[in-house]
Amino acid sequence: MNTPEGVMIATASDPLWDGGAICGKIFTVKCTGATNPVPHPCYDGKTVTVKIVDHCPGCGGTLDLSKEAFESIADPVAGVIKIEYW
């Protein structure tokens, strides 16, 4: 998905969304592990910088990364990963 913000984007879950206050904020994201039995899901030490562009009510208290952002820090086969962001 290509947006005016580019492809390194993410959406925020309800707890983070805060009525839209987080929209437009920039975060650095790092993969910390898998949520399923995929060996070596994270690309060691890789981080990605993303811009929050939308609300994701079903994202379970975290961020949902664009395909491009996800694939820059983790193996796409992992599907869902654990992350740290700051």
Spell out the residues 6+ positions from residue 9 whose beta carbon is closer than 8 angstroms to its own.
1, 3, 50, 51, 52, 53, 65, 66, 69
Domains of the chain: 9-85 (2.40.40.10)
- Residue-by-residue pLDDT tens, the chain, 86 positions: 556 678 999 999 999 999 999 999 999 999 999 998 889 999 999 999 999 999 999 888 899 999 999 999 999 999 999 999 99
pTM exceeds cut of 0.95 = no
